[in-house]
């Protein structure tokens, strides 16, 4: 059973990372964003400041 348990802190890290990558605007740090897909690139588009950033997505 060793190694089957993932520490809660690690899960939280992943959620934080997800929020940082896909929800929070890198410019104004607001969560008022939408994901837009253009060819193989996904962008995070901010409704608050209009910033658009490509996000790294591994599918
Ligand atoms: Zn913004």
DSSP annotation of 57: -
Per DSSP (E only), the strands in 6-57 are 33-38, 41-46, 52-55
| pLDDT, tens digit (0-9, with 9 covering 90-100), for 12-48 | 999 999 898 899 999 999 999 999 998 889 999 999 9
Domains parsed from the chain with CATH numbers: 8-55 (2.20.25)
How far away, in angstroms, is 28 Cα from ligand 1 center?
A: 4
Answer yes or no: pTM beyond 0.85: no
Cα-to-centroid distance, 4 and ligand 1 (Å):
39
- pLDDT at residue 54 is higher than 80: yes
- Report how far ligand 1's centroid is from the alpha carbon of 24 (Å): 8
- pLDDT higher than threshold 70 for residue 10: yes
Alpha carbon 24 to its chain's center: 7
Nearest to 34 by CA among 20, 21, 42, 45: 45
Closest by CA to 56, choosing from 28, 35, 29, is: 35
Alpha carbon of 2 to ligand 1 centroid (Å) = 43
């Amino acid at each position: 059973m060793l190694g089957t348990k993932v520490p809660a802190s690690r899960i939280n890290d992943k959620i934080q990372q997800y929020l940082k990558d896909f929800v929070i605007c890198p410019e104004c740090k607001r969560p008022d964003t939408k994901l837009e897909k253009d060819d193989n690139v996904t962008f995070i588009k901010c409704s608050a400041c209009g910033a658009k950033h490509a996000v790294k997505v591994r599918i």
